[in-house]
Structure 1
Amino acid sequence: MKHLLNLLAAIALLVWGTHLVRTGILRVFGANLRQVLARSIGNRYTAALSGIGVTALLQSSTATALIVSAFVGQGLITLPLALAVMLGADIGTSLVTVVFSFDLSWLSPLLIFTGVVLFISRPATNVGRFGRVLIGLGLMLLALRLISESTGIMVRSPVVKALLASINSDLLLEITTGTVLALMSYSSLAVVLLVATLASTGIVPVEMALGLVLGANLGSGLLAVITTAKAPVEVRHVPLGNLLFKIVGVAIAAPLIGAWLKYLRPYLPGDASTVVLFHLSFNAIMGALLLGATGPIARAVLRLLPKPQQPASSRPHHLDPTALGTPSLAISCAAREALHQADVVESMLLGVLAVIKNNDLRLAEELRKLDDTVDELYSAIKYYLTKISREALGEEESRRWTDIISFTINMEQIGDTIERILIDIEDKKIRKGRNFSDAGMAEICELHARLIDNLRLGMSVFLNGSVRDAQKLLEEKARFRDLEHAYASTHLERLSGNTVQSIETSSLHIDLISDLKRINSHICSIAYPILESAGALAPSRLRSEVLAPKESAI
């Protein structure tokens, strides 16, 4: 029992090490890896090569599948090219398996020690995250040595021999077992390394090991399909196409296992090499044979999983769930969606003036419905940000996380204010057949034009973080406040002159310019985090030299 627990612990350590390497690489190089993929996918050959390179770093074809699926979902690449990337990704993970099959156990202590020092000394930086990668690599090498030692003892157990003999009697059962192991461990790489280690110690016959390897490949394809099961249809196309490739490959390779062992095994140095080279050959030959079939497979995928009919107003969705493993990239996705929220708010604000001028009830209703979109975007962005690991964020990324939350809150509140303005215009102006005076309408148009300019400047400040633009935006707040006071005074003068239109719309006019000032205050709030980070904000706006005499008099 003790030896079995040791084996299970070593397997768990291998899986955990693989996870540390994958997540560490994504956090350090995630955005760059995506840029490499996006820029190098010019044709199916370069796409396959980029898939090999990226997956060799990530050590997970499943992670590559999720990245490429997001690209297809956003319309950045076509499905056939994405499938070519996946063929390369499978070759990449096979090459990593070959490297780990060598005896590198001597390197494990050095990697773990160096990684721990880097991670503890600078945990929130890329150096610390790279230390996490080194820890994962060291744990993988250590786990492989522990597995070899544990299986060396267990191989003598009659119970173990009987159990393996029952599985070894059926190729289909071997493939099924390998598939289940890959699903349970979330890594075909870990399963193939485990099988190679077990084969080298004699606990698993080589014939059985090759069947398990085929199952592990099939399991990695099925794992990506399951992982993206709730994603949009466009995102699910790539994993499904990759799974079809693997099904075809396993169907071709399974009957040829005997020929592989008969003709090639005598020339290979050991059982572990036989297993990992079979894994590499399987994916390399599958890539060479099926690279030209990406088009037909893509068409088959579209028939099996057709795209739903999209309304004309559909838009790209920037909150990519596959980016959550790369915090810096997820922050960028949230920022893009926040800018889309601001675009909707701008549409609402632009429409307000048309409603006022034309008394358009239908447009007012459409604009009020847009506030529901603003609220939904706010909730979606907020929920997405809460799923980003704050521990993995650096100081700058953490500050950006806070800026996005603040920005979306301001946009949501602006949307609510605009909805309230529209309701007031409908009730107090349109339905009662009233109109503003020419002077009053000119004041409203002036404030509205300034508001649009300030909103666009605020979006630029949020996007670029320019301190100069943030200062300009804050200066606009004071100017807008002065204008609001001046226009309120001129309105009272018109009331004194008994202007009929001013008297009828007095309440609405005062409320409207006050609401516009409130919207401007929310827009200008975008500048505060930028100026605070730059140290350009004073601690308090109160002048102590003015307050001091009053306090002493009290």
Structure 2
Amino acid sequence: MSIWNLFSLVGGLAVFLFGMMEMNKHLTSIAGSKMKGIMLTLTKDKYRGYLTGLGITIVNQSSSATTVLEAALVGAGLMTFQQSLAVTLGAELGSTFLPQLVAFPSITKFSTFIVFIGFVLLISAKTKKSRHIGMTIFTFGLLFLGMDMMSSSLKPLRTYQPFIDLMKNVETPVLGIILGMLFTMIIQSSGATTGITIAMAMSGTISLEQAIPINLGAAVGTCITAVLGSITLNWEAKRSAYIHILFQLIGAFWVFILLSIPFQGERLYIWGIKWFTLHVLGTESLARQIAMGFTFMPVINHIIVFPNLKLIVKLFDRLFPEREAPKPFGPKYINNGLIGKSVELSLMMTRKEIIRVSEYIQEMISEMKVAFRSKNTEILGKFSELDSKVDILHKAIMTFLARLSQEELSSEESRRCMNYMYIQNELESIGDVIDKNIMVLAAKKIEKDLLFSEDGFHELEHLIYKVNKNFESLTAALRNDDSVEAMKVVNSYKDKDEEKYKEMHIGRLSKGLSESIATSSVHLDLISYFSRINSHIAYIAGRLTPADQQ
């Protein structure tokens, strides 16, 4: 093997790993902001949780990234440890998708063309999202280009005796597993390790018997990322990362057993892979056999783990017991046990729960200015998380009030019950306006690197200040049942600064101010959304005044 082959090998490895990491980053940027919401919505039972983990990992191409996100949600109390189990298992299977794709050797012939297409899309992109799409295609091509470079550079090793002797040792499963585990802990991607073994197979320098133990070790080694990602999180989040290791060790154990059983002159696991790829897939491709060997690992694991999940969790709880685990996020003050006991107490507890909702919305309003000052879209995730909490409480409160309204209520109790329904509905609408409208504009400003004019930004800051002050007064009126304070909020709404600021912005447009022109759509939409929030606030305040209590 010449020095030029070595240069080509390390260069190809660098191109492959860079393509893999960057493709993951840009795929996550395209869909990442939605993944948290998807995971929260679709993990209510283990089957949907499994499919969610599978789907998200196919998109972001990293089981580690999925389990890190999952651990963060468990740490925040938005997902339970039990819900996270199915997501973890689904992520394990999802991580085998890329190796299956990589196992199509013919794609490498088009790698340079894919790079070209990605480059054209990249240089012609007008928005940040289209740049992410261009970079995803560009790095996808780099991934296969790197594989082709590695495969070509490794061909001389087929006749290099020291390398042949080394790889014979790898056929011993334990050594191969250790090698794959250590390598994957360094590069933090089991899919990348499998891709590299497929590249070696395409060059004829590695056999199926050598690749399988390496990939088995890779499946265990990939857990390191989730463990590292959970270091700063609470104990329950750490447990969700640690059980990933236990699941992978269980799978590795059973595959190791199958590798240790001789069958028809081969190891049973190797024979099974060859039989499946030949008789089911109709191919004897070594690359496909390696990819299927990697996919069968989680499949076998899940066939064993799912029926015994309760027993495995019981064992895990002995090793890593719960420590005052955070309860799943939900209502603090209302529960079905109150229904039928005391209407007055039920209404009091409902008001306390609604005040809790208002506190989360207050936090969202207070952070809006920070979001528009920031140049990093990561801050927007906080708003999504707060809005998820508001939505959870909204559903619980409205369901509780609907049940309470079926009881025998006095006219005054019925009026309060309906009043709280209206108030809670308006609060939830404010949360949606902030998360689904205003934060979309914040993301647009960051992605397009827009800059408000100095006067324009001061005006927006004043509107945020006004919204914040009005909402603080509203919360105080709600907390203290203060109709006088509520009336002040209603009167404040009559002083509409929004129209004045729209006129001032249009005036700057007529003068041709470049910053105002560039940010015009964002600026005017923001003013409209702030006006909507103020109208919701005024409506709620109106519900707290004597005029609306008749």
Q: What TM-score do the two structures reach when normalised by structure 2?
A: 0.60
Q: Secondary structure of 2:159's match?
A: coil
User: How far apart, CA to CA, are the structure 1 residues paired with 2:498 and 2:96?
Assistant: 54
Matching residue of 1:279: 294
Contact 1:224 1:239 in 2 (8 A): yes
1:259 to 268, 282, 300: 268
Q: Equivalent residues in 2 for 1:27-426 (5 A)?
A: 27-103=29-105, 104-122=107-125, 124-165=127-168, 167-168=169-170, 170-257=172-259, 258-265=267-274, 267=278, 269-309=284-324, 328=377, 330-333=379-382, 393-395=446-448
* Cα 1:238–1:335 shift into 2, 3 Å: closer
Q: CA shift at 1:175, angstroms?
A: 0.8
Q: Secondary structure of 1:122's match?
A: coil
User: How far apart, CA to CA, are the structure 1 residues paired with 2:114 and 2:67?
Assistant: 28
User: How far apart, CA to CA, are the structure 1 residues paired with 2:491 and 2:137?
Assistant: 48
Paired letter, 2:270: L
User: How far apart, CA to CA, are the structure 2 residues paired with 1:89 and 1:172?
Assistant: 25
Q: Secondary structure of 1:75's match?
A: coil
Paired letter, 1:236: K
User: How far apart, CA to CA, are the structure 2 residues paired with 1:536 and 1:295?
Assistant: 50
Q: Which runs of 5 or more structure 2 residues have no equivalent in the other structure?
A: 260-266, 333-355, 368-374, 390-442, 470-481, 503-518, 528-550
User: How far apart, CA to CA, are the structure 2 residues paired with 1:118 and 1:14?
Assistant: 21
Paired letter, 1:149: S
Paired letter, 1:63: A
Contact 1:470 1:530 in 2 (8 A): no
Structure whose CA Rg is larger: 1
Contact 1:44 1:291 in 2 (8 A): no
Q: CA shift at 1:140, angstroms?
A: 0.9
Q: Does 1:533 align with 2:523?
A: yes
Contact 1:55 1:93 in 2 (8 A): yes
* Cα 1:531–1:114 shift into 2, 3 Å: closer
User: How far apart, CA to CA, are the structure 1 residues paired with 2:195 and 2:218?
Assistant: 11
Deviates more, 1:204-213 or 1:284-293: 284-293
Contact 1:15 1:187 in 2 (8 A): no
Contact 1:24 1:129 in 2 (8 A): yes
* Cα 1:335–1:264 shift into 2, 3 Å: closer
* Cα 1:68–1:32 shift into 2, 3 Å: same
User: How far apart, CA to CA, are the structure 1 residues paired with 2:175 and 2:526?
Assistant: 68
User: How far apart, CA to CA, are the structure 1 residues paired with 2:384 and 2:461?
Assistant: 11
* Cα 1:2–1:391 shift into 2, 3 Å: farther
Paired letter, 2:111: S
User: How far apart, CA to CA, are the structure 2 residues paired with 1:20 and 1:532?
Assistant: 30
Paired letter, 1:276: A
Q: Secondary structure of 1:209's match?
A: helix
Q: CA shift at 1:287, angstroms?
A: 2.0
Q: Secondary structure of 1:29's match?
A: helix
Matching residue of 2:474: none
Q: Which runs of 5 or more structure 1 residues have no equivalent in the other structure?
A: 320-325, 341-389, 415-444, 458-467, 476-528, 538-554
Q: Secondary structure of 2:96's match?
A: helix
Q: CA shift at 1:310, angstroms?
A: 8.0
User: How far apart, CA to CA, are the structure 1 residues paired with 2:255 and 2:41?
Assistant: 34
Q: CA shift at 1:534, angstroms?
A: 2.7
* Cα 1:311–1:155 shift into 2, 3 Å: closer
Q: What TM-score do the two structures reach when normalised by structure 1?
A: 0.59
Paired letter, 2:381: S
Contact 2:72 2:233 in 1 (8 A): no
Q: CA shift at 1:106, angstroms?
A: 2.9
Q: CA shift at 1:73, angstroms?
A: 1.7
* Cα 1:448–1:176 shift into 2, 3 Å: same
Contact 1:237 1:302 in 2 (8 A): no
Contact 2:188 2:224 in 1 (8 A): no
User: How far apart, CA to CA, are the structure 2 residues paired with 1:43 and 1:536?
Assistant: 38
Matching residue of 2:532: none
Number of residue pairs aligned between Structure 1 and Structure 2: 385
User: How far apart, CA to CA, are the structure 2 residues paired with 1:471 and 1:33?
Assistant: 35
Matching residue of 2:335: none
Q: CA shift at 1:4, angstroms?
A: 2.1
User: How far apart, CA to CA, are the structure 1 residues paired with 2:445 and 2:239?
Assistant: 31
Q: Does 1:471 align with 2:490?
A: no
Paired letter, 1:261: I
* Cα 1:336–1:211 shift into 2, 3 Å: closer
Contact 1:206 1:275 in 2 (8 A): yes
Q: CA shift at 1:329, angstroms?
A: 5.1
Matching residue of 2:437: none
Root-mean-square deviation over aligned CA pairs: 4.4
Q: CA shift at 1:410, angstroms?
A: 8.0
* Cα 1:330–1:306 shift into 2, 3 Å: farther
Identity %: 19
Contact 2:235 2:325 in 1 (8 A): no
